[in-house]
Structure 1
């Protein structure tokens, strides 16, 4: 898997990029959890989801946001990290000009960043939001949410408690024209300890099902 560096708003960003063998493959970008709590592109959940997309023929990028690993800059409480994510997706799309669709997947803080990126990019056909911390960050920008997606979280999550995630799901499910699927992983904490395989399998099943629907002419 090639190590890559590309230009972000505050300097060079470090990533790992796996191109598809097909020039018209869809693309996916993975967004890691909070940098100040050890979040980086090698987080096990992000790593597993990265290869989930690779195995399905996507061109996939995961990267370290500013100040993480060998990425330049300093933590910016979300604003700069969103700009980094937009720059990363620009870079990915520049390399994949024939790509028919974009997917965004993020975990925790990365889910918040990913759903903001979603609002900026009408070409996104789907998203996977793992343990979005509705209790810690403002998700009111999803008005309306432009794409269907999966929100998946742990039954025993104390960082992003199930009742707070439920508020986000309820709000989004009330919107017309999109479908928000919710899955709760039984016995899982915020980090899906001993449950990452279950999480990955559920995300893979959802992705396969959604892509089959899209290929059959279904909407977003």
Structure 2
């Protein structure tokens, strides 16, 4: 009876086996699911390790705490070479393998009824690359790193997808994000934040509210 599995969830930080050795994972358990037989889990991918990205990044933390407050189980993890995760930066290829390893672990340990994926900046690139093969049911891309990584051949699937983008982004060109988005066969929801920069300084609460407003009702 998979719908009882969430009762065994322990909030914890742990190391799991991965292609490059081990990955550091932070698990936040589902909070009082409305319907125990419907308990989605979301995996959140952090920004570029070369620029200091880690699962402790404030945007990643806000995404995790928001989805946890909405009732989801949440997994954050450090890509290879970050924190206690072994290995070295691999330009997105190895990091996609890292995400695969985390999702495999999650499915084995917790059997989520649905897998959702979220990524911030570089993390959006990784989540987008793997979302279809991993069977994600929802995808959130926050300030996706269009123009910095090769998004040109990456396609959105016919699943609920949201892009949150700041108009004052100093790292990603906002128009590049719009251009890529408009080229897609499946159009995502877009939440445009005119005044937000790349790291959503002073805009994290607005980021949280947008997610709850757009997606919260699907959990009731």
Q: With structure 1 as the length reference, what TM-score do the two structures score?
A: 0.88
What are the equivalent positions in structure 2 for 1:145-160 lying under 5 Å apart? 145-160=157-172
Contact map agreement 1:118 1:146 (CA 8 A) in 2: no
User: Which position in structure 2 is the counterpart of 1:218?
Assistant: none
Which stretches in structure 2 are left out of the alignment for 5+ residues? 1-10
Q: How far did residue 94 of structure 1 move?
A: 1.1
Q: How many residues align?
A: 206
Q: With structure 2 as the length reference, what TM-score do the two structures score?
A: 0.88
User: Which position in structure 1 is the counterpart of 2:3?
Assistant: none
In structure 2, the CA distance between the partners of 1:131 and 1:3, relative to structure 1 (3 Å rule), is same
Matched, 1:48 2:67: no
Q: How far did residue 140 of structure 1 move?
A: 2.8
Q: How far did residue 100 of structure 1 move?
A: 2.0
Contact map agreement 2:23 2:80 (CA 8 A) in 1: yes
User: Which position in structure 2 is the counterpart of 1:7?
Assistant: 17
Q: RMSD value over aligned CA atoms? A: 1.7
1:61, 1:143 → 2: CA distance? 24
Q: How far did residue 148 of structure 1 move?
A: 2.5
Matched, 1:78 2:96: no
User: Which position in structure 1 is the counterpart of 2:122?
Assistant: 109
User: Which position in structure 1 is the counterpart of 2:211?
Assistant: 203
Which stretches in structure 1 are left out of the alignment for 5+ residues? 216-220
Contact map agreement 1:169 1:182 (CA 8 A) in 2: no
User: Which position in structure 2 is the counterpart of 1:131?
Assistant: 143
1:6, 1:114 → 2: CA distance? 19
